[in-house]
Amino acid sequence: MLHTLHVSTRSRAELVDITAQVQDMVRSSEVSEGICLVYVPHTTAGVTINEGADPDVRRDILEQLERLVPKDGRYHHLEGNADAHIKASLLGSSVLVPISDGRLSLGTWQAIFLAEFDGPRSRKVLVQVMGG
Ligand code: ZN
């Protein structure tokens, strides 16, 4: 079952918590044991799992990525979003989460984030639930 989640991002760089929406898709799929693929079909956005409780963790991740790959660095790609492509590749375009008892097996502090690096934009997240 392939579901599409539409996310409107609000800033150029942002980590959007999509855990609840992904969990809803797992629930509606009625898969009890399996895996959930969360995939972002974009080149300047990614997906990552990290702490959802303290928003400062999100801030630190974004600030350190900006320090590593500054927007105004020297790049060959001339669209003005070379940093966003690199940041998206650093985080990756998919995550896999085990499903147990019909729920995502995330750790207590873990959340799934769409990572926007060239917003604000409308983004798609594809969620494929596999199992039985
Ligand atoms: Zn580009």
3-state SS, one letter per residue, for 93-129: CEEEEEEECCEECCCCCEEEEEEECCCCCEEEEEEEE
Residue 34 CA, ligand 1 centroid: distance in Å: 35
Stated as kind and residue range, the H or E segment containing 130 is strand 122-131
Confidence label for 1 from pLDDT (cuts 50, 70 and 90): confident
Q: Supply the pTM of this predicted model.
A: 0.97
Domain ranges of the chain: 2-131
What integer is the mean pLDDT of 101-130? 98
Residue 86 CA, ligand 1 centroid: distance in Å: 10
Residue 84 CA, ligand 1 centroid: distance in Å: 8
CATH architecture classification, 2-131 = Sandwich (2.60)
Residue 82 CA, ligand 1 centroid: distance in Å: 6
User: Phi and psi of 117, rounded to 5°?
Assistant: -125, -5
Residue 45 CA, ligand 1 centroid: distance in Å: 11
